[in-house]
């Protein structure tokens, strides 16, 4: 909620002040400049008039060179002094000047010769009174020039300015100097009258210009504020996470460009957020699939373990049967009269051995099929992991593009701030917009860094999952090889079992050849025992591989769970922004 101070000194008020204050200052400066110009013009005019008056009077006095020379010779006692003083006094009264007097340059310095003051003026300057001038006046007069002085203040005579000119005779020789002093009050009166007339023209003209400027200012400021408010509302929506916003271009200046760039930036951010949401949904689905596959692998590993344990149990039983057959063969020599029953028993044992061998072969074939299925699933999981890795890299590239946009936005904000600083007071409004854009760019940068952190964790988990998949694939390949070797061994056992059955039939037919057959049976029993031991050892190795596969399956389930957590984190960050695809993406997030 804005405070009263913020409302009073808002952007609109500042813009009005930025325009009005310079106009008022310009008006005051115009009036002051006009007054100064009029004063200077009046001074220049009066100085020019006084100069012409002095030159004309000096020319007229130059025709009286004899009277002037008489004054130089006789002083105030001569009639020529009276004549010249009367003439200067008349000039003073008619021209309205303050003083008119004649000067001369002697070896002792400047002196007054004739003072045009009234006859009853006791403070007039008598003949021979010392006079003093500024160095510039002194130099100009000696060079034969007419010299005008600026307005000076004298404690005795007040504010005045003077004009001095040489008096020349008919031959052009300087015979004296004329000085005329003018009261500065006359200058002030002329200045006041002229200034009043000028104000009658300047004030209405300035009022008209001010009114027209205010109308133009209202139109321009309202248009600028409309553009600024549009940009502000759009940025507020984006800062709240709503990317379904549009900033229209109203002006054709830099603010309009900022509005267009803001809308483009929002559109690109929106597209990237939608991509992130879609990729996170795909990641959730992949995690669910990985979890399901891991559960299936775990169950298959448990079934494989049970089958291997059954095979081990069958191998143990087979070893025990083989041992009993060996014992029967050892006692075969002393129990010839029981050969028929023992041969019958041996035939039964051989049949059971064949049945066990067939069962073991079937179990190993089933185990081999399951191992091949597991191998195919492992390959599928590896391909899915590679796809997840590509998706992660794609997400990382999207993050790079988003960083590029944020940098461009920061550069644009910096450029706008620079332009605003160059514009001075008129650019403070643009500086506010630039600051808002910089704040938005910083917030976008923080969100991108959080996404990059999540993606980094996700890439690490995917890499670890790839390692487990490779280990699982190698274990499955080794298990398939070991089962194939077991099947070959069981084939050998099967062939031996068939030979035993053949021997049993031959023993049944040839009781007389029992002793020779007994030795052959013993040899075959030894082979069976060795094969049984080898089968037992292979069964232990396969069991160890199955346990390893079961551990890999559990680790795969743990990776799937962490993958789901990473996907949830990506979706949580993406849900901070609202887009038109938000409702479409929500059902996919519930697959888990």
Helices (H), 240-338: 254-330
**What distance in Å separates the CA atoms of residue 461 and residue 430, rounded to the nearest whole number?**
46
3-state secondary structure at position 566:
helix
Contact 317, 509 (CB under 8 A): no
Torsion of CA 566, 568, 572, 575, to 10 degrees: 120
Burial pattern 319-356, b for ≥16 Cβ within 10 A else e, equals bebbeebbebbeebeeeeeebeebbeebbebbeebbeb
**What distance in Å separates the CA atoms of residue 246 and residue 274, rounded to the nearest whole number?**
17
| Size of the chain, expressed as the number of residues it contains | 592
**What distance in Å separates the CA atoms of residue 268 and residue 529, rounded to the nearest whole number?**
75
Tell me the pTM.
0.37
**What distance in Å separates the CA atoms of residue 91 and residue 114, rounded to the nearest whole number?**
13
Map 40-89 to HEC letters: HHHHHHHHHHHHHHHHHHHHHHHCCHHHHHHHHHHHHHCHHHHHHHHHHH
**What distance in Å separates the CA atoms of residue 425 and residue 185, rounded to the nearest whole number?**
43
**Rounded to the nearest 5°, which phi and psi values hold at 398?**
-60, -40
pLDDT of residue 581: 52
- In 3D space, the residue among 148, 129, 133 whose CA is nearest the CA of residue 187 turns out to be 148
pLDDT of residue 4: 41
In this structure, the strands spanning 109-115 and 152-154 are: unpaired
What's the Rg (C-alpha) of the chain? 61
Give CA separation, 501 vs 10, 356, 372, 524, in Å: 108, 14, 34, 12
Torsion of CA 406, 408, 409, 412, to 10 degrees: 160
pLDDT of residue 70: 92
Q: What is the DSSP-derived secondary structure letter of residue 349?
A: H
**What distance in Å separates the CA atoms of residue 337 and residue 511, rounded to the nearest whole number?**
10
For 166-235, the DSSP string reads EEE-TTS-EEEEEEEEEEHHHHHHHHHHHHHHHHHHHHHHHHHHHHHHHHHHHHHHHHHHHHHHHHHHHH
- In 3D space, the residue among 125, 163, 122, 161 whose CA is nearest the CA of residue 141 turns out to be 163
Q: Is 216 exposed, middle or buried (0-12, 13-18, 19+ CB in 10 A)?
A: exposed
User: Would you write out the chain's pLDDT as a tens digit for each of its 592 residues?
Assistant: 444 444 546 777 777 778 778 878 887 887 788 877 877 777 788 889 889 999 999 999 989 989 999 999 898 989 999 999 999 999 989 888 888 999 998 888 899 999 988 888 888 889 989 988 787 888 888 888 999 988 888 777 778 888 999 999 988 899 999 999 988 787 677 777 777 777 788 888 878 888 888 888 788 888 888 888 888 887 888 778 777 777 788 877 777 788 788 878 878 887 877 787 787 778 777 777 777 877 787 777 677 777 767 776 776 776 677 677 667 667 766 665 565 665 666 677 667 777 776 777 777 678 778 777 877 777 777 777 777 777 777 776 777 777 788 788 878 778 878 877 877 777 777 777 778 777 877 887 787 778 778 877 777 777 777 777 677 778 777 777 877 777 777 677 677 767 777 776 776 676 666 666 667 766 766 776 676 677 667 777 767 776 777 777 777 778 877 777 777 777 777 666 666 554 454 444 433 3
């Amino acid at each position: 909620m804005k405070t009263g101070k913020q409302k009073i000194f808002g952007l609109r008020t500042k813009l009005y002040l930025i325009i009005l204050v310079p106009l008022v200052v310009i008006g005051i400066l115009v009036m002051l400049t006009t007054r100064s110009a009029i004063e200077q013009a009046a001074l220049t005019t009066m100085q020019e008039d006084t100069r012409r008056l002095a030159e004309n009077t000096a020319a007229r006095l130059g025709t009286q060179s004899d009277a002037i020379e008489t004054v130089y010779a006789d002083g105030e006692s001569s009639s020529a002094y009276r004549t010249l003083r009367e003439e200067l006094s008349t000039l003073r009264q008619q021209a309205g000047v303050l003083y008119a007097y004649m000067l001369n340059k002697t070896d002792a310095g400047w002196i007054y010769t004739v003072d045009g003051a009234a006859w009853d003026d006791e403070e007039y300057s008598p003949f021979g009174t010392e006079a003093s001038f500024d160095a510039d006046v002194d130099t100009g007069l000696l060079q034969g020039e007419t010299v005008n002085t600026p307005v000076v203040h004298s404690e005795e005579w007040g504010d005045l300015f003077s004009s001095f000119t040489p008096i020349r005779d008919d031959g052009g020789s300087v015979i004296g100097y004329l000085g005329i002093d003018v009261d500065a009050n006359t200058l002030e009166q002329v200045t006041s009258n002229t200034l009043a007339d000028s104000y009658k023209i300047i004030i209405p003209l300035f009022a008209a210009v001010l009114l027209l400027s205010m109308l133009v200012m209202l139109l321009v400021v309202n248009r600028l504020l409309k553009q600024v408010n549009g940009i502000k509302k759009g940025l507020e929506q984006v800062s709240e996470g709503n990317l379904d916003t549009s900033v229209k271009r109203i002006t054709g200046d830099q603010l309009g460009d900022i509005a267009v760039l803001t809308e483009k930036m929002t559109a690109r951010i929106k597209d990237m957020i939608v991509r992130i949401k879609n990729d996170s949904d795909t990641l959730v689905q992949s995690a669910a699939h990985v979890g399901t596959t891991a559960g299936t692998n775990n169950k298959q590993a448990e079934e494989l373990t049970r089958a291997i344990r059954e095979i081990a149990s069958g191998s143990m039983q087979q070893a025990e049967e083989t041992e009993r057959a060996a014992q029967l063969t050892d006692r075969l020599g002393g129990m010839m009269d029981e050969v028929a029953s023992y041969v019958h028993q041996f035939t039964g044992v051989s049949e059971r051995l064949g049945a066990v061998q067939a069962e073991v072969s079937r179990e190993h074939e089933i185990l081999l099929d399951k191992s091949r299925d597991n191998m195919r699933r492992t390959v599928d999981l590896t391909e899915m992991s590679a796809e997840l890795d590509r998706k992660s890299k794609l997400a990382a590239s999207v993050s790079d593009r988003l960083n590029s946009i944020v940098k461009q936005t920061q550069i644009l904000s910096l450029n706008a701030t620079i332009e605003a600083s160059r514009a001075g007071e008129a650019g403070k409004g643009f500086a506010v917009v630039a600051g808002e854009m910089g704040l938005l760019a910083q917030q976008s940068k923080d969100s991108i860094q959080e996404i990059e952190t999540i993606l980094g964790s996700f890439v690490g988990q995917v890499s670890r999952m790839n390692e487990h998949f490779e280990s699982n694939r190698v274990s499955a390949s080794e298990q398939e090889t070991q089962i194939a070797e077991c099947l070959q061994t069981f084939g050998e056992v099967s062939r031996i079992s068939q030979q035993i059955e053949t021997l049993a039939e031959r023993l049944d037919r040839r009781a007389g050849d029992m002793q020779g057959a007994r030795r052959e049976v013993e040899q075959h029993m030894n082979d069976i025992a060795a094969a049984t031991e080898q089968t037992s050892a292979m069964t232990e190795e396969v069991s160890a591989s199955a346990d390893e596969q079961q551990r890999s399956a559990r680790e795969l389930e743990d990776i799937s769970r962490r993958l789901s957590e990473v996907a949830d984190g990506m979706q949580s960050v993406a849900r901070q922004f609202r887009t038109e695809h938000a409702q479409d993406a929500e059902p996919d997030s519930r697959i888990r």
